Amino acid sequence: MAIFARNRSSSSADRFPRSAAGCAIAILAILAGVITATAQAPGSAAAKTATAKSKPWTAPRTPDGHPDLQGTWTNGTITPLERPDGSRVTLTKDEVDRLEKSAEDRAKRLDEPSDPNRPAPPKGGDGSTGAAGNVGGYNNFWLDPGDRVAVVNGEWRSSLIVDPADGKVPALTEEARQRNAARAAELRGRGQYDHPELRPLGERCIMSFGSNAGPPMLPNYFYNNNYQLVQTRDHVMILVEMVHDVRIIRMGGERLPSHLRPWMGDSIGRWEGDTLVVETTNFHPLQRFRSASESLKVIERFTRVSADTILYKFTIDDPSTFTRPWSGEVPFTRTDDLIYEYACHEANYALSNILSGERAREREQMKKKQE
């Protein structure tokens, strides 16, 4: 696979004073911040008291009077989309500390230098589902899946889905199951490497991995979970770091005819008070979010709730696919990191190598049959 660009935060040496006095001040500031953060954890009494006494935060406004959503944001988090069995809606501080410490320990372990004397991976891979059968892939330096539990309304959340109450994606309808069975029948007898159109959209550099670009815009739990928002009176642009997708949301106007189905669908926005509401239909048939049908509608709500947070809510409405609508909430956090070009096809020999490798394997198998 090609090596794709991702952001790395600036080093601590670039962010702290270099003089002895400056270092002492910085250390005191860090300790004070840790104490304050501990005393005012989300949902704590101290945090609520401090919030009540402080001046209410007011969102900045654009020249046309609407909340300013512009900037660079990330939705990276370790909170899963669906709630693990047996978990409550919210987590305790001890549970959060344990989860975040586990993520930190894993990152440290994977960041350790590789053993130069380690043996080569087995020929053809070891049969695992890892990168190319565990013969090698990205090392942890390139990954940035998120390292914090999602906080919404002062609560540590156990899942991004909030409706249904169990935090799970609703079951598929009978119609959706039949549709999926028909698609599987069409592919029966074809090899997954027979031609490029059978490879995933992300591998072909057409769309982002998972539903990173959306809608709904969900974390991919891998890397490049950054977004840049640019806002005018008539349009909102969302630049998605993963695969460098660009969503253009039209503020008002007529919807596209049903036969026009662009990637990421046809998004039309409106303001409801201080919340940007976006309704998207006309999805490209190959996008198929979680086996969705052509009638899929996604409703998104963007609300600037603090200087550093946009609360992003989404609702999935597709009666022919899901037994009921379902919704989630994802905090988008401001970041000072830059979004670099995701040059997906730059020196990307993966797709041609995958297909040529399969052709070589077929020739080898044919030769053995003829012997």
175-211 pLDDT, tens digit per residue, is 999 999 999 998 888 888 898 888 889 888 899 988 9
pLDDT the model gives residue 131: 61
pLDDT greater than 80 at residue 261: yes
Residue 203 · residue 210 · CB < 8 Å: no
Beta strands in the chain (DSSP E): 71-74, 151-152, 155-156, 161-163, 226-231, 235-240, 245-251, 266-272, 275-281, 297-306, 309-317, 326-334
Which one is predicted more confidently, 53 or 308?
308
Q: What is the arithmetic mean of pLDDT over 141-166?
A: 95
Burial class (CB in 10 A: 0-12, 13-18, 19+), 263: middle
What percent of the chain has a predicted confidence (pLDDT) above 70? 84
**Please, which residues bridge with residue 250 across strands?**
235, 268
pLDDT greater than 50 at residue 13: no
- Return the CA Rg of the chain: 24
Q: How far apart are CA 363 and CA 356, in angstroms?
A: 11
Q: What is the arithmetic mean of pLDDT over 141-158?
A: 94
What percent of the chain has a predicted confidence (pLDDT) above 90? 62
Residue 302 · residue 310 · CB < 8 Å: yes
Q: What is the arithmetic mean of pLDDT over 76-90?
A: 96
Range of weakest confidence among 26-40, 107-121, 160-174, 339-353: 26-40
pLDDT greater than 80 at residue 106: yes
pTM (2 decimals)?
0.82
Q: What is the mean pLDDT of the chain?
A: 85
Q: Fill in the amino acid letter for 6.
A: R
Range of weakest confidence among 32-41, 90-99, 327-336: 32-41
